[in-house]
Structure 1
Amino acid sequence: MNVVFVTGGTGLLGSSIVRNLIEHNVKIKVLARSMDKAKKLFQNPLVEIIEGDILNVQGFADHLSGCDTLFHCAAFFRDNYKGGKHWDELFNTNVKGTEQILEAAYKAGIRKAVYTSSIATLYGEKNQLINETMERHLEGSDNYYKSKILAERKVKEFLNKHPDMFTTIILPGWMYGPFDMGPTSSGQLVLDYIAGKMPGILPASFSVVDARDVAEHHIVSLEKGRSGEKYLAAGRYMEMKDIFELLEKTTGIKMPTKSIPFWLLKIIALGQEIYHLITRKPILLSYSSVKLIGTEYQRTHFSHEKSAKELGCEFRPLEATFKDVVTWYKQNNYIS
């Protein structure tokens, strides 16, 4: 890699990839909707900030020239779970945007790419170990999940047309990490926990991973991976109680002990959706989020056999991850 183009470069994963590349002395062009946010994150001569939006690929396509590698991390995700319906934004960003950035990159002469997918495209039974072959059906899926399934299909269609474009697909779990300016849903959970806004333990499970480890999977896949292959970077299975225990250990703040039943979550979410409908303000618990909690509970056990064998990547202890997250938020005045 000599000159790399990164979409979603100011997000948690994208910024982790950029910082990893800086350590390897690689020149990077970072696509950013907010120049101010990008400048706060990256003050390095190796980084050139390109103002643009994945919804308008032609608006920045000229900047792809001279690059040899594309990391496509941009996606519409966080706002999808803040109330209301967002299918147009999901489709235009995650599906159409993926198709267009790959075509524009190929036209510009780029022949190496990594696409950031999601564990959302996989499905298994409760407590089943899920691997890369266990694809989720489109029918009946959450809208965000649908958009990622369709985007993966666009990547495969593109590769069928352009077999000379080396492209790997990385599937992250629920990412945590420092430099989460957004914050993402994971970062917001940490902040809400510290602020005492978590009333109880939700009946939910996750696959939790450090964004820096996911970034490593992306970069190593270009050297050791196989084109057209999917590689899991999902991390460790955790239930909400496990996350709270880790946060209690990290922050010294006592975790809630009361369990919140699923039926009560549904009622709370419906009330929140009505509030969103009236005020148009984002909410903390949408009905989409609650449906996912129910359908995905104990279906977040993922196998890293393939990525470990082919990429040789490992995961750092999440105790270290959570410590780094809390420290970063303190140092950047998110926490008093």
Structure 2
Amino acid sequence: MFPSTVLLTGGAGFVGSHVASLLAGRNVRVIVPTRRRDRAKHLILLPMVEVVEADVHDPATLARLMTGVDAVINFVGILHSSGGSPWGRDFERAHVALPGAIAAAAKVAGVARLIQISALGAAADAPSEYLRSKAAGEAAIRAGGVPWTIFRPSLVFGDGQCFLRLFAGLLKLFPVFPLAGAGTRYQPVDVRDVARCVVHALGEDEAIGRTWALCGPRVYTMRELVRMTGRAIGAERCVIGLPGALASLQALALELAPGPTLMSRDNLRSMQVDSVCNDGCTLPFGFQPNALENAIDACLADFKPTDRFESARSRAHR
């Protein structure tokens, strides 16, 4: 039976917002807790979606949120943390402790289904703290006593948003593009494909106890993704792959740069593992994946000179 009330932890984010929209379209009551309501303002007007200011890291609050809930989907994830062994405290809080707390609270409340959004490459012996902590979160979900499903997406794109935007901004600045992890392979997946797999799994008994990788139809190296971005915005550059020591220096420089962290040394360690599915991998439930090429123009539209010119003319009412 498909759930009538679903709790989305981390539901105000990129993937969670798409899942909330799909569930609302099926007349499912959706509860989205957030520390700040304005971060979820894009969801407030959706019918059936209730945005609640709450701290899901607080055990009493988490228990209260579980009341009357049929299923929980956990999207909480972060990319950066202070270092530690086997992982830093921020990874511990978001990727390990929280899934364990969610599973425990869900079991007490009698929640029927629990879905965890993890990461492709998660493993206890992975080279990065990020991937090791994601694997520990998966273990907490599996041991929690609630029927579970785990999804491991590769890089996610869609709806005018994608990781290529970071490259686009940098390509505009540098005539030569030094690149750490140039040979790492990725299999980007459309956010709409991720969302429909997650929603479909809620009503499928075959999804219980399964861990699925979610990937698009094509594999790219990081170098190919940067070159694709350059072609799309009219800023093709010479891409120079950096060897290990220089790649670490680049990651450290970006880690220490002012403003939001663009990359860290732990991110670089994650890039030692290809983010791709096994040979012949397809989306579950017979879904056909959308290709990155179909979304790249929308993703990078405001980096193209003609688009920026037209946008400026429009703002000037000319």
After TM superposition, the score normalised by the length of structure 1 is 0.77
Count of aligned positions: 297
Kept after mapping to 1: 8 A contact 2:179/2:239: yes
Which whole-Å CA distance do the structure 2 matches of 1:227 and 1:33 have between them? 30
Which residue of structure 2 lines up, in the alignment, with residue 318 of structure 1? 292
Structure 1 residue runs of 5 or longer lacking an equivalent are: 122-135
Which residue of structure 1 lines up, in the alignment, with residue 278 of structure 2? 303
Which residue of structure 1 lines up, in the alignment, with residue 10 of structure 2? 8
Corresponding residue to 1:58 among 47, 57, 60: 60
Q: Secondary structure, in 3 states, of the residue corresponding to 2:223?
A: helix
Q: Which amino acid aligns with 2:228?
A: L
Are residues 33 and 66 of structure 1, via their aligned partners in 2, closer, same or farther at CA, if it must alter by over 3 Å? same
Kept after mapping to 2: 8 A contact 1:13/1:215: yes
Which residue of structure 2 lines up, in the alignment, with residue 242 of structure 1? 224
Which whole-Å CA distance do the structure 1 matches of 2:231 and 2:212 have between them? 31
Are residues 325 and 23 of structure 1, via their aligned partners in 2, closer, same or farther at CA, if it must alter by over 3 Å? farther
Kept after mapping to 2: 8 A contact 1:120/1:148: no
1:145 maps to 2:131: yes
Which residue of structure 1 lines up, in the alignment, with residue 169 of structure 2? 192
Are residues 155 and 84 of structure 1, via their aligned partners in 2, closer, same or farther at CA, if it must alter by over 3 Å? closer
Which whole-Å CA distance do the structure 2 matches of 1:22 and 1:327 have between them? 29
Corresponding residue to 1:230 among 206, 211, 221: 211
**1:55-90: CA deviations, max 9, x gaps?**
224224313212211111112x2233xx76671111
Q: Secondary structure, in 3 states, of the residue corresponding to 1:255?
A: coil
Which whole-Å CA distance do the structure 1 matches of 2:24 and 2:302 have between them? 19
Query: C-alpha displacement at 1:140, in angstroms?
Result: 5.8
Structure 2 residue runs of 5 or longer lacking an equivalent are: 313-318
Q: Which amino acid aligns with 1:216?
A: R
Which residue of structure 1 lines up, in the alignment, with residue 316 of structure 2? none
Are residues 190 and 4 of structure 1, via their aligned partners in 2, closer, same or farther at CA, if it must alter by over 3 Å? farther
| Higher RCO by CA contacts (8 Å cutoff, separation 6 or greater) | 1
Q: Secondary structure, in 3 states, of the residue corresponding to 1:50?
A: strand
Corresponding residue to 1:173 among 154, 157, 170: 154
Which whole-Å CA distance do the structure 1 matches of 2:90 and 2:48 have between them? 32
Which whole-Å CA distance do the structure 2 matches of 1:192 and 1:57 have between them? 41
Query: C-alpha displacement at 1:213, in angstroms?
Result: 0.9
Greater share of helix residues, 1 or 2?
A: 1
Q: CA RMSD in A?
A: 3.0
Q: Secondary structure, in 3 states, of the residue corresponding to 1:269?
A: helix
Which whole-Å CA distance do the structure 1 matches of 2:112 and 2:66 have between them? 12
1:112 maps to 2:94: no
After TM superposition, the score normalised by the length of structure 2 is 0.81
Question: For residues 26-175 of structure 1, what are the structure 2 equivalents within 5 Å?
Answer: 26-75=28-77, 77-80=78-81, 87-121=88-122, 136=123, 138-139=124-125, 141-158=127-144, 162=145, 165-175=146-156
Which whole-Å CA distance do the structure 1 matches of 2:20 and 2:172 have between them? 31
Q: Secondary structure, in 3 states, of the residue corresponding to 2:207?
A: coil
Q: Which amino acid aligns with 2:297?
A: K
Worse overlay, 43-52 or 33-42: 33-42
Kept after mapping to 2: 8 A contact 1:54/1:93: no
Q: Secondary structure, in 3 states, of the residue corresponding to 1:20?
A: helix
Which whole-Å CA distance do the structure 2 matches of 1:113 and 1:255 have between them? 45
The percentage of aligned residue pairs carrying the same residue is 21
